[in-house]
Amino acid sequence: MFHSPLSIFNLFIFCTLQLSRFSNAQNAVSTTTSYAGTPTSFRPVFTVPSSADVGATLIPNIEDPQAKDAQNVCPGYTASNVARNPLGLTATLTLAGSSCDVYGNDIHTLNLTVQYQSADRLAIRITPAVIDASNSSYYNLPSYIVHQPTPDADANSTSLSSDLSFVWSNDPTFSFSVYRVSTGDTLFSTLGTKLVFEDQFVEFASTLPDNYNLYGLGETIHALRLGNNFTKTMYAADTGDTIDTNLYGSHPFYLDTRYYEADTNGNLSLVTANETTATADYVSYSHGVYNRNAHGQEILLRPTNITWRLLGGSIDMYVFAGPTQPEITAAYQMSAVGLPTMQQYFTFGFHQCRWGYANWTVLQSVVDNYEAFGIPLENIWTDIDYMSQYRDFDNDPIRFNYSEGAGFLSALHASGKHYIPIIDSAIYVPNPSNASDNYSTFDNGNATDAFMTNPDGSLYIGDVWPGYTVFPDWISGGAGQWWINEMVNWHSKLAFDGAWIDMSEASSFCVGSCGSENITLNPVHPSFALPGEPGNVVYGYPEGFNLTNATEAASASSAAASQSSANAAASSSGDTIYLRTIPTPGVRDVNHPPYVINNVQGDLAVHAISPNATHADGTQEYELHNLFGHQILNATYHALLAAIPIVRPFIIGRSTFAGSGKWAGHWGGDNTSLFAYMFFSIPQALSFSLFGIPMFGVDTCGFNGNTDEELCNRWMQLSAFFPFYRNHNTLGANSQEAYIWSSVIDASKTAMNIRYQLLPYIYTLFYLAHNTGSTVMRALAWEFPHDPSLAAADRQFFLGPAILVTPVLDQGATSVDGVFPGVGKGEVYYDWYTLAAVDASAGENVTIDAPLGHIPVYVRGNNVIPTQEPALVTRDARKNPWGVIAALSLEGSASGSLYVDDGASLVPNATLYVEFTASNNALYASGRGMYIDTNPLANVTVLGVQDAVTNVSLNGMAVGGSSVNYNASSKALTVTGLNNATSAGAWSKDWVLRWG
């Protein structure tokens, strides 16, 4: 087992970071010393007590035996004044009985608006009839923050062909249903339930068919298919990727797919069983539902229905007719949330990061090690280690000083690599009793009223990494320009290439404005031990580590048990007393709303900004909490445009909302080094495909805990087929760069070789996603929508339409079971490595040999894939010769495309789009556009050529025999030596390659 010399730096790195955490803190007891030759200034600091982040003791409504069921005590509404109009109808909804005020104050009169906004989109909006300046923020989600779909310009005509139909009833109280006209299927129906609409609680429900297939409703670590016994909470939370709970982002959108079996007469019957017949004929219809509401909320999925429970806002629902996932996803993005941002080419290279890179020298050693071992490295990242006392927009003057950084970045950029730093979401407040504790970023923001306040107008001061902090108020007049100015100023000193936005839920390590009376203690230490500090030593390892490393595992297990015992809190005796808030007429309790959602942190103010924090226009954080991450991504996008003009901003953010994809990508957060989390990365990525955020990846090899060789081997290969490919782990854990283990070096090189060959294909997929709303990573069920056996498939995935990935996800496995969708019904797949067609039967779960270091990858027939020779950086890969892989269908046809531009410009001066078509023993390439690419075509590989090939020609000119190889066993034709014939550029003119 090979270990890099860099791994011996772990202890040095950790100690250096801890001693220098408060470098340059000015205090009477400051001292200057050095550790292992690294000078650092530090002083003893106040540690915030753990009690500061303890909120009220609450019990979630869904677990509370004393909770009232609003359906049993509330009267519902009655519709009147129904008026039709060219696009739908309006109506008045009046409370149908006495107020119930079960979890808030009932709204007696509501307005209903129904609009057929396009041929495939129906809008249903229910709002209070009286909305004015005093309550507008309670119910209206501003369209300048989250786009509100409006009728298409031609809706008067196109809506007439809608496949959706809205029907309402007052029997026994107001309800509505949405039907699919073509099938008569009920897509959404509140019939049999009551509408509840209060100032802090809105409930509506719809029936669902048995064993339904719902997807989406993020963000959650969960299987792709949500199941029918799951409560999805949406409240942005800083939590370490806990399974099945609310996480960082909120995406109130779901896809509903229903399968039908067709009989000989074409009659359809709904499929509700999990078992299906591979040879039967099925058809599916899908629709999408988006509820444009940013308040804290729960969606209850139960065996026969879905129930939405909102802590505020209105019902602003959109139904997308589909009937396929691609149509729904495209319509959702184009009309509701926006198309995903186009990424720069370099962002698809490999990224390396960790919390614990102590200085520029260590960072350089990581870069050097990747190069020494011949492993591609495109981007090096730094976590909060680089910051001056964990403060945004400033570097540690000793370990990450600007002068040394300029030299590091100059060499890095010259080698074709890039640098991405983390930027946190809270801003340090200087200690007012210490005149030398200067921080201009705070001063500049405070001067423009850029920060949130308490209800009394004083600054809201929470606690994050640097100590007591304030939080940008993105709806204030000054925050956006202040953020731009700080970014531009910092970039003038440090030429970074993108931004990593973290802690943007937004996170705060205490309840309420805990720093208001304690600011003279700044800087302070968080109330918890950092990873690696006493009491929080990292002892975790992946599943099966005890089998492969028994001695080390036993030692770690014993130490972990001792640490856990030492940290164990004394258990309390007696019954737990829960805070239960009773609605008060005319008053809203935003800190403790009467309805308690199942928030992973409990109290809404725990580890978050308190709901009563106030924005410039008087809006409370209660209304906007789920949008902080969305807004900081918007601000960062425009700040990067100012700091690095002309080029596309590259941003990876933690907290997202519907529409964040038009500015940024997302990583899966603080996962754990376990095989389980490697599996969950696939449904995470597929869900974000539905949400319009295709630039997704996870912390490869795991963030929390220690990884091991086997897990990192498998994970480095799996993530090579995710759009965003980054290795990252926590402070105090073992190093896990790709060069740490010899087998991981080999596995990474193997997978990266494929990835880098496919970069033109991946870039083209993003171009199409950016322009048409198509997806990049795809579930098997989306590519094969009429196969109900794939409804829950989330252990395999497609990269675009052409690449099928079947990874090993279980510890100790040397084989993996996989299906080949469509086989037996016209589909064919080719093994990437052998080029031969796969031998599989319809519906068969094939056992595939997959020893450690091998990830099964297949090319789907009927696809043409552009490739390029790999290099260690994408800049050099873009200068290499091209290749084409034509994977023929059983009928001998295939098609594909290639998009080329300069890879960086926000608005490229020129572009090139090449279309490929294969048929009748010929492959055609036809381009259009003015972008000039002079790289030649090196080779063409045609898969599935059934007959021996004796001659090949390119544009009528014979290709020499030594350049033609036909493998009768694999049925693969390989044509090389095309460089001279295409010396002006592979796409400088159209061509046809013929064989026979």
Strand partners of residue 467: 464
User: What CA–CA distance (Å, rounded) separates 869 from 731?
Assistant: 36
Contact criterion met (CB below 8 Å) for 697 and 723: yes
**Cα 533–535–539 angle (5° rounding)?**
85
**Torsion over CA: 704, 710, 716, 721 (sign):** negative
Q: Which two tokens stand for residue 619?
A: 């809006």
Which segments of 888-961 are extended strands (E)? 894-900, 912-919, 922-929, 937-943, 952-954, 957-958
State the DSSP string of 688-736.
HHHTT---EE-EET-SBS---HHHHHHHHHHHTTSSS-EE---TTSPP-
Contact criterion met (CB below 8 Å) for 375 and 366: no
Q: Which two tokens stand for residue 519?
A: 């600011």
> Is residue 575 annotated as a catalytic residue, yes or no?
no
Contact criterion met (CB below 8 Å) for 146 and 627: yes
> Is residue 502 annotated as a catalytic residue, yes or no?
yes
> Is residue 53 annotated as a catalytic residue, yes or no?
no
Q: At a CB cut-off of 8 Å and minimum separation 6, what does 716 contact? A: 700, 701, 727, 738, 744, 747, 748, 751
User: What CA–CA distance (Å, rounded) separates 26 from 260?
Assistant: 71
Contact criterion met (CB below 8 Å) for 2 and 742: yes
User: What CA–CA distance (Å, rounded) separates 422 from 460?
Assistant: 23
Tell how strand 351-352 and strand 379-382 pair up. parallel
**Residue type, position 361, single letter:** T
The catalytically annotated residue of 298, 463, 670, 787 is 670
Other CB atoms within 10 Å distance of the CB of residue 49 = 11
User: Quick one: which H or E segment has residue 93?
Assistant: strand 88-95
Q: Which two tokens stand for residue 182?
A: 């073509």
User: Which residue, 178, 180, 161, 177, is CA-closest to 169?
Assistant: 177
**Residue type, position 718, single letter:** L
DSSP assignment, residue 62?
A: G
To 10 degrees, the CA torsion angle through 309, 313, 314, 318? -80
Contact criterion met (CB below 8 Å) for 334 and 773: yes
The catalytically annotated residue of 256, 392, 486, 502 is 502
Contact criterion met (CB below 8 Å) for 425 and 472: yes
The catalytically annotated residue of 101, 316, 383, 505 is 505
- In the β-sheet with 803-805, what is the strand arrangement from edge to edge? 777-778, 797-799, 803-805, 857-860, 829-831
User: What CA–CA distance (Å, rounded) separates 783 from 771?
Assistant: 20
To 10 degrees, the CA torsion angle through 608, 611, 612, 617? 100
User: What CA–CA distance (Å, rounded) separates 242 from 2?
Assistant: 33
* Catalytic positions: 502, 505, 670
